Structure 1
Amino acid sequence: MSLPTIVAQRAVVTDTHQLTVSTVRIDADYYDTAVFDDSASKKHTGMSLGGFVIDSSSKRSPDRESAMEVHREALIAARNETPKDPR
């Protein structure tokens, strides 16, 4: 198995949060998309956004096309939604 390769990575900065949506290729049929909190305080870590738990979960895709769709959906959520505390 080789090292993960970044396929797409975009920063999303709004009035309420500073996040990065990242999709990496792990293997030929394994892509992962995750959302990371880039703020200095890490105040959104553990919160939910678009089906992700920030800094804690990822979504697996079997091919690049579906991975890019998941990445796009995560970007839209990061731009349009406010992270929510699941508690």
Structure 2
Amino acid sequence: MFLSTLEIQNIIEHSFLPAVCTCSLEADQSMTIRVCDCMTGKVDLVATHVPVWTLDSPHAIASLLADMRQEIAAHKGQHPKFFS
């Protein structure tokens, strides 16, 4: 199954609601994902160099999201975590 980059961005951004999540595509076709607390605006996580081409299935996307949520939970209350 192949999802477009816009579909992948939409899935990722909506999966973190009510937090604010933004995805941006980089020139090398990797993605940067930033998750911020909706109440404070504090950055909880920045994932850089996420290879979009590996997000080719629901399982791959779910695994990335689970890893990111785990990083956010582990570092709640600390400086933003950069994850790549």
| TM-score grouping bracket, smaller chain normalisation | 0.3 to 0.5
Between Structure 1 and Structure 2, the one with more strand by share is 1
TM-score by length of structure 1 reads 0.43
TM-score by length of structure 2 reads 0.44
Between Structure 1 and Structure 2, the one with more helix by share is 2
